[in-house]
Amino acid sequence: MEALKGIRILDMTHVQAGPTCSQLLAWMGADVIKFEPPQGDATRGQLRDIPGADSLYFTMLNCNKRSITVNMKSAEGKTVFVDLLKHCDIVMENFGPGVLDRLGFTWEKIHEINPKIIMGSIKGFGSSGPYAEFKAYENVAQAMGGAMSTTGTPDGAPFVTGAQIGDSGTGLHLAIGLLAALNQANRTGQGQYVEVAMMDGVMNLCRVKFRDHQRLTRGGLSEYSVPTSQGMGDVPRAGNDSGGGQLGNAIHCKPHGPNDWIYVVVQEAVWAGLANRIGAELGLPELATDARFALIGDRRKNQNDMWGLITKFAANYTKREFMAILNPIDVPCGPIMSTTDLANDEHIRGREMYVELEDERRGKWWNVGMPIKLSASPAKIERAPFLGEHNDDVLMNVLGYDAAKVEAMKVAGAFSAPPKKA
Ligand SMILES: CC(C)(COP(=O)(O)OP(=O)(O)OC[C@H]1O[C@@H](n2cnc3c(N)ncnc32)[C@H](O)[C@@H]1OP(=O)(O)O)[C@@H](O)C(=O)NCCC(=O)NCCS
């Protein structure tokens, strides 16, 4: 049996942050009803690669859901919403600030309609504080949560990371909050409001940078390859430094293309083995006892020389060949995998982390699989719904409306596009 079987979610989320969360919960077995405005989640049409088909942006974030379209700006649409609230365990949204309140549905009102329902909200900056009224997208959250100021090199521009820590990262945080609230509601019979701000989520993922922020009041950061000193204030961008207690860096390999790199961690315990292996080939048989690198403190101080020697060695090997040298001597390392590498990777395929799907409009396509593996509840990934595909199904089978009622609501505008703003 699926872990969340029997849990029904009214999913008003759009774009990426919310849909990431509801897709994960759907993969765990929840019945997720994607509640869309009549024109649909904007991402259905964004970055479209096949005319007439929903974009990959949409399909990759909305698998295993049902879709219904409801015009919340009509009285009948609001009735459908209220009826659904009474039949769901969770309602979730990631609208801009105040949107649901303007539609007449504050958390207090929703709680009154169904005291056991849990409400999940993602906002850029939460519902309180000077930033509460601002909208946010991924890179805004990365900028304001500390990720950008600490990513890149000190002399260059701050960089965003390719991992969607502002959107998908926040969706993960919300999923954790919703599952905790669900557990509590099962014991108390009372729902609660679960809020995750994207800025907070990013800051949580930058926790070690705030470790370093405080360490800087007492001294430099010896593990950083870039200059640091007591009292310098801001944690600097540190390129590909490891960020942990062990030294690490990206090393360019043969044939020196953009992804011919490997990340190597020179764990304290493996230095002698690594030095013996590379030293022998570089004509430095004494490298393991070389005073510049003998102890961890020496290697920290002289790490740029150490990386230079490792890079010189790596020039004769591809990233995979270098990995094959490092694995037997226990040096933690990982080749930088391109999207092509990953899409074709045997390990990834075996773990069902890149899965093939098919639908009649798009044909075959691929989704990143379910990263959380439950032994008794394996995820079965199904295609994303077409816009409004389940209108009748949900109205009749979840809400028990008869055909005449559905028709009357249709005529009254419950499911058609709201008038344009003046
Ligand atoms: C993502 C974001 C910037 C998009 O902004 P936006 O396109 O202006 O959309 P908003 O969420 O602010 O507004 C949605 C509008 O659609 C309307 N709408 C939504 N569902 C509707 C429905 N079923 N029927 C009728 N209208 C609907 C809302 O009432 C609102 O209209 P209003 O502005 O007249 O109040 C914004 O939603 C946001 O900041 N969200 C919180 C943070 C977040 O999740 N960011 C995205 C991460 S991927």
Question: Which CATH number covers residue 21?
Answer: 3.40.50.10540
pLDDT of residue 17: 98
Say yes or no: 288 and 404 in one domain. no
Say yes or no: 254 and 392 in one domain. no
pLDDT of residue 420: 64
> Ligand 1 mean position to 205 CA, how many Å?
26
pLDDT of residue 1: 86
- Final residue of a structural domain among 302, 331, 360: 331
When pLDDT is averaged across residues 318-335 and rounded to a whole number, the result is 98
pLDDT of residue 417: 83
Contact predicate 223/247, CB 8 Å: yes
Say yes or no: 353 and 281 in one domain. no
The confidence band for 418, taking pLDDT boundaries of 50, 70 and 90, is: low
Q: The pTM is what?
A: 0.96
> Ligand 1 mean position to 391 CA, how many Å?
21
The answer to whether residue 212 is domain-embedded is no
- Final residue of a structural domain among 331, 359, 374: 331
Say yes or no: 296 and 384 in one domain. no
Decide if pLDDT at 421 tops 80: no
Decide if pLDDT at 80 tops 90: yes
Say yes or no: 171 and 259 in one domain. no
Q: Which tokens sit at 121?
A: 């909200």
Strands 31-36 and 65-69 turn out to be: parallel
Say yes or no: 390 and 295 in one domain. no
- State which of 33, 57, 85, 99 you would mutate to test the pocket of ligand 1, scoring each by most atoms of that ligand within 8 A of its C-beta: 99
- Final residue of a structural domain among 271, 305, 331: 331
Contact predicate 265/329, CB 8 Å: no
pLDDT of residue 23: 98
Tens digits of per-residue pLDDT, 102-124? 999 999 999 999 999 999 999 99
pLDDT of residue 308: 98
Contact predicate 261/319, CB 8 Å: yes
Could you list the residue range(s) of the whole structural domain that residue 298 is in?
247-331
The answer to whether residue 85 is domain-embedded is yes
54 among known catalytic residues: no
The answer to whether residue 63 is domain-embedded is yes
The answer to whether residue 213 is domain-embedded is no
Decide if pLDDT at 367 tops 90: yes
Give residues (CB < 6 A) around ligand 1: 15-17, 37, 70-73, 94-96, 99, 102-103, 122-124, 135-137, 167, 198, 418
Say yes or no: 183 and 52 in one domain. yes
Say yes or no: 162 and 297 in one domain. no
Active-site option among 167, 200, 212, 260: 167
C-alpha distances (whole Å) from 339 to each of 56, 259, 342 are 15, 10, 5
The confidence band for 214, taking pLDDT boundaries of 50, 70 and 90, is: very high
pLDDT of residue 165: 98
The answer to whether residue 233 is domain-embedded is no
Contact predicate 114/86, CB 8 Å: yes
Spell out the SS3 assignment of the chain.
CCCCCCCEEEECCCCCHHHHHHHHHHHCCCEEEEEECCCCCHHHCCCCCCCCCCCHHHHCCCCCEEEEECCCCCHHHHHHHHHHHHCCCEEEECCCCCHHHHCCCCHHHHHHHCCCCEEEEEECCCCCCCCCCCCCCHHHHHHHCCCHHHCCCCCCCCCCCCCCCCCHHHHHHHHHHHHHHHHHHHHHCCCCEEEEEHHHHHHHHCHHHHHHHHHCCCCCCCCCCCCCCCCCCCCCCCCCCCCCCCEEEEEECCCCCCCCEEEEEECHHHHHHHHHHHHHHHCCCCHHHCCCCCCHHHHHHCHHHHHHHHHHHHCCCCHHHHHHHHHHHCCCEEECCCHHHHHCCHHHHHCCCEEEEEECCCEEEEEECCCCCCCCCCCCCCCCCCCCCCHHHHHHHHCCCCHHHHHHHHHCCCCCCCCCCC
Say yes or no: 20 and 126 in one domain. yes
Say yes or no: 132 and 194 in one domain. yes
The answer to whether residue 230 is domain-embedded is no
Question: Which CATH number covers residue 266?
Answer: 3.30.1540.10
Question: What's the number of domains the chain is made of?
Answer: 2
Decide if pLDDT at 88 tops 70: yes
- State which of 20, 60, 95, 103 you would mutate to test the pocket of ligand 1, scoring each by most atoms of that ligand within 8 A of its C-beta: 95
> Ligand 1 mean position to 39 CA, how many Å?
12
Decide if pLDDT at 419 tops 70: no
Decide if pLDDT at 79 tops 90: yes
Say yes or no: 190 and 49 in one domain. yes
CA distance linking residue 84 with residue 88, whole number of Å: 6
The answer to whether residue 226 is domain-embedded is no
C-alpha distances (whole Å) from 346 to each of 11, 317, 349, 367, 372 are 34, 22, 5, 16, 19
Q: Whose CA is nearest to atom 6 of ligand 1?
A: 96
On average, the pLDDT of the chain sits at: 97
Say yes or no: 256 and 363 in one domain. no
